[in-house]
Amino acid sequence: MDVTAALRWIGSIDGTLELVDQRLLPIEFTHLNIDNIPDLYDAIKTLAVRGAPAIGVSAAYGLVIALQQDGLSDINAALKTLQDQAAYLATSRPTAVNLFWALNRVQTFAENWVTGHAGAGVDEFRQAVLGEAHAICREDIVMCKRIGEHGAAVVPEDGAVLTHCNAGALATAGQGTALSVFFEAHRQGKSFKVYADETRPLLQGARLTAWELQHAGIDTVLICDNMAGWLMKQGKINAVVTGADRIAANGDAANKIGTYSVSVLAARHKIPFYIAAPSSTFDLSLATGAEIEIEERDSREITHPGERQWAPEGIAVSNPAFDVVDAADIAGIITEHGIIEKPNTERVAQHFAENG
């Protein structure tokens, strides 16, 4: 297993899901072996596995795990168990749409399979569900590669790109979304630098992105979140590329908290701002980003980082995990099918109409 691979399935229908425990990086590189739904729920909730695509793939495999329990007498009982556990896993985190996309896809597949295989055995059903989870994982790997290939063109030769949070291999089943752009540009022999925001309060940029880029041999500079604007003013940043956790039909994009601020700074300094994300991250049921539910996380992530108290006892805390970039400030959304230039409702719809 490559050290930057976030997850993998081990075994067949009675197998386990192996996850890199991202809460411990970069100091410790350890794995979690998930063999029950409560542990997977906890891994998603506590960010042991994180990044919209990785959460989605993990949830798909979670429904395979859901079918490992005893007492599933027939495929209808197994289907009911799968549906119940899908509903439970869907409550783990509210913003990243890939979670719901993957759960819905496997659930729809399972329902259709049962309809078309009356009288089939439970193990045959379980094998079919595992096959669908594997398909989701394989597709994510291909999508990541294609996003990088399409996006490499936006990386300026001998320039510098800023990224925020982590949208690399640790956030997907493949080589990432935003970081895939850098990996492919690097493979093409381009000379460039990446500035990685630390990404408060959980430091995904410092702990994960800097680690991935350094491991790949890419020239990387770690900065505090509040340094980006000053570097832009000095002309040291030529483009911004980030990932996304949910994209509305008009191109508004939710990403890790702080991304909105970066987009406003980029617009102020006339620096192109790009989102890199697979088609599965779009939620076309939402007209604009104003409809995206924003997760509010535990105040202790701010007041007690690393379990050390940094704030006065009893202080009020706001800890939204995401914010939303206005489509008007996005130069392009890089998907596995190409780049949606200056996204809006019409261009997003056209992109999906042309690519299915």
The answer to whether the CB of 239 falls within 8 A of the CB of 256 is no
Catalytic residue among 140, 197, 225, 245: 245
Is 245 marked active-site? yes
In 3D space, the residue among 42, 34, 41 whose CA is nearest the CA of residue 16 turns out to be 34
Angle CA(135)–CA(139)–CA(140) in degrees, nearest 5?
120
What is the DSSP code string of 187-226? HTT--EEEEEE--TTTTHIIIIIHHHHHHTT--EEEE-GG
The residue type of 81 is T
The answer to whether the CB of 125 falls within 8 A of the CB of 131 is no
- From the number of C-beta atoms within 10 Å of its C-beta (0-12, 13-18, 19+), residue 218 rates as middle
What is the C-alpha to C-alpha distance for residues 59 and 213, in angstroms, rounded to an integer?
27
What is the C-alpha to C-alpha distance for residues 212 and 340, in angstroms, rounded to an integer?
27
38's tokens: 């409560």
Which residues are known to be catalytic?
245
